[in-house]
Structure 1
Amino acid sequence: MSRMHGQPFTHTGIMASTSPAENFDMSLGITRGWDNWEDDSEGDLSITGGLSFSLEESTVSLNFHTGDDFIGMDNFGNPLVGNVTLVTLSYTKNLTDDLVYALTADVGHGDAMQGNTTTAGLSGARWYGITNYWTYNIGEKLSAGMRVEWFRDQDNSRIMPGAFSSHVDGGNYVNVTMGLNYRHSERWMFRPEARWDWSDTRSNDLSVPGAFGDFQENDTFTLSVDAIFTF
């Protein structure tokens, strides 16, 4: 949920990095904003950067991205521009020779992303989440993974339609995923997985009892498999 709704998919820009000390890295750069390739005059350049520190069996990093960005359209079809800031903390640790644990925590804030249909006004919105990963190497070609995630859409601006956010309650999303990574060859990898999602998001005003199953259920179970070809 955090990767899909709380983080940008792409950044376009430039970044410089340096290592002022052993096992310590720093980076700083500029981008065109969230998921923006062209300069469409809707927002200024954003700033991104981070710090990373490595120990013998673990790595900690703190990254940020902030700047004025395109955040939606007003009631008259005009683009809205406001500050969007995201801070991400990442931690990775080798628990054993075959077991790796990773944690990612996100905190985000966006101007004028929460809508109120009663006052026709817009206000700032926040979202945050914590994702835990465990990966275990079973053999040379096979590994197993588990992900436990909690995402909090505090003002219901990231997942539910922003214009109706004042009519939505809840905002917590939890998912548990278990799967396998099978590397058939140097080019092919297959990844079957089972996933359970739950949310307390609902809206009595809009007759929406849940966030899943065409907005009729508060949980869902998914079985899936994907194939990755590297070239």
Structure 2
Amino acid sequence: MKLSKIAMLAAIACASYTSSMNASANDSIELVSHCAAACDCGEPVCGCEAVDSYCDPCGDACDSGCDSLFGCGSGSLLSGLGSDCCLGEQWSLFGEHCGWTAGGWIQMGYHNNALPLFNSRPDEFQLHQAWLYAEKAIDTSCGFDIGGRIDYVYGTDSQDTQAFGIDNDHWDNGWDNGNDYGHALPQLYMEAGYGDLSVKVGHFYTIIGWEVVTAPDNFFYSHAYTMYNSEPFTHTGALATYNVSDNVTAYGGYVFGWDSGFEDNGDAFLGGLSVGLSDDLTLTYATVGGRFADNSAANERGYMHSIVADLALTDNLQYIFQSDVLDTENNAGALVRETFGINQYLIYTVSDCVAFGGRFEWYNQEGVFLNDNGTPGNDADDFAQESDIYALTLGMNYRPHANVIVRPEIRWDWDDDLLAGLDEGDDQTTFGFDTIFMF
């Protein structure tokens, strides 16, 4: 069975070519070389073109502060509130060499209360993500191209992004360092493409939902219940992408269940459609259906989908609406998880240096196994009956430099029945902040 699936994936890889489009910027394919992406000094031709030394990506916005840690002008922390904020060029430790790139980031943070959403270690300044990646992004503007990517992470977020879909310590699931810290290889895939048709084969991030695992690609420090409890993080298999037109992109592929490495854990379809309805509105539907977990305690199978509407209300104001539905059962037909979530985001960008945002979530769950700290478990004593959970988060993104993001936030959680980690009908206020250093 396992060999036949691998053979099928190889056949798909030979028949299709890959490009990638994901909510995560780290999982996206650039169809043209970005050697000249810093500014408009000329169109790149096939391959890497050197950027002219006189080309200033900051323009005339600030002549003296582009290389300053605090942006332009006097160096004040509030300088980013002005319209002449200038971050300068992002510094890279490894740089880019004709399609080959390598880099990463360090994310460190603190939160005063535990949340069952990655941030489960309160009252401690911690290393969430020490991330390294290497990638050859494909460029189909010249015809056929082939590439790939590998990601490695160490920190308290690693155990949440391991291949925990099978409870036998396969792939990276046994790479723990104590109760919270550990290592993970969340991505290892090959990609190839020709024109508008493409395919990705290997271990890669899901296309489900708006929030992602990679810290620099999220506005908020904390995560939504929907993202953590009702969406897959990674898949292993093959995913094809076809750019139907400038405004329509279709996805379709086969994966070995949810959150599993290169070991058979089920059969599922992963696909979706992204449509640009106007210059200001993009609607994305993504779904996964089939057998999600054959080798875990739940033996879970079913269906889930995510619908995301991304609307630019003004040049500075962005509104995101997301709705997720998950319905699964076990081999005997008994309920495993039935959840429904609505997330709404409102983000106001003051300048390239400063943005403010809010997130409100309503999460309805039934049949979710929860441990005392709110994380998924297998103990029937922790079985959560139907409940409604609400969370409001207000936060800020401050960029003192192109390589640095500071994200303070305050969050309120409450429920009408049972809130993971809290007493029945209780509420919680959580303050947190993190800093991301990219390289």
- Structure 1 length normalisation: TM-score? 0.81
Evaluate the alpha carbon distance shift between residue 72 and residue 195 of structure 1 in structure 2; reply closer, same or farther with a 3 A threshold: farther
Counterpart of 1:147 (choices 359, 363, 373) is 359
Q: For residues 257 and 323 of structure 2, what CA distance do their matches in structure 1 show?
A: 21
User: Quick check: 2:299–2:331 contact (8 Å CA) kept in 1?
Assistant: no
Please name the residue that 1:229 is paired with.
437
Note the C-alpha offset of 1:15.
1.1
Residues 3 and 187 (structure 1), Cα distance of their counterparts in 2 relative to 1, 3 Å cut = same
Task: Give 1:122 deviation, angstroms.
Answer: 3.8
Task: Name the counterpart of 1:49.
Answer: 271
Partner of 2:314: 96
- Letter of the structure 2 residue corresponding to residue 227 of structure 1: T
Q: Which residue of 1 aligns with 2:287?
A: 64
Aligned residue for 1:183?
A: 399
CA radius of gyration, larger in:
2
Say if 2:281 and 2:311, in contact at 8 Å, map to a contact too. yes
Count how many residue pairs are aligned between Structure 1 and Structure 2: 209
TM-fit CA distance, 1:225: 0.2
Q: Give the Å deviation of 1:198.
A: 0.6
1:229 and 1:14, CA in 2 relative to 1: closer, same or farther beyond 3 A? farther
Tell me the residue number matched to 2:258: 34
Percent of residue pairs identical = 26
Please list the CA deviations of residues 166-209 of structure 1 after superposition, one character each: whole Å capped at 9, or x if unmatched: 6x54411100000000112121101000000011234xxxxxxx
Cα distance in 1 for partners of 2:317, 2:258 equals: 34
Whether contact under 8 Å (1:212, 1:218) holds in the other structure is no
Alignment match of 1:23 (pick from 247, 268, 273): 247
* Alpha-carbon distance, 1:10 to partner: 1.6
Secondary structure of the structure 2 residue equivalent to 1:11: strand
- Partners of 2:323 and 2:340 within 8 A in 1: yes
Deviation at 1:22, TM superposition (A): 3.5
- TM-score if structure 2 supplies the norm length? 0.44
Tell me if 1:7 matches 2:231. Answer: yes
Retained in 2: the 8 A contact 1:155–1:165? no
Q: In the alignment, residue 283 of structure 2 is paired with which amino acid?
A: V
Residue in 1 that maps onto 2:350: 138
Distance 1:113 1:131, change over 3 A: farther
Does the CA contact (< 8 Å) of 1:28 and 1:48 recur in 2?
yes
C-alpha separation in 2, matches of 1:161 and 1:225: 28
- 1:205 corresponds in structure 2 to none
Residue correspondence of structure 1 range 115-126 to structure 2 within 5 A: 122-126=334-338
Checking the alignment, whether the CA contact within 8 Å between 2:281 and 2:312 is kept in structure 1 is yes
- Distance, in Å, in 2 between the alignment partners of 1:195 and 1:113 is 38
Partner of 1:84: 302
Please list every run of 5 or more consecutive structure 1 residues that lacks an aligned counterpart in the other structure.
74-78, 115-120, 203-209
Cα drift, residue 84 of structure 1: 3.3
RMSD across aligned positions (CA): 2.5
AA aligned opposite 1:28: G
Q: Distance in 2 between matches of 1:200 and 1:190?
A: 33
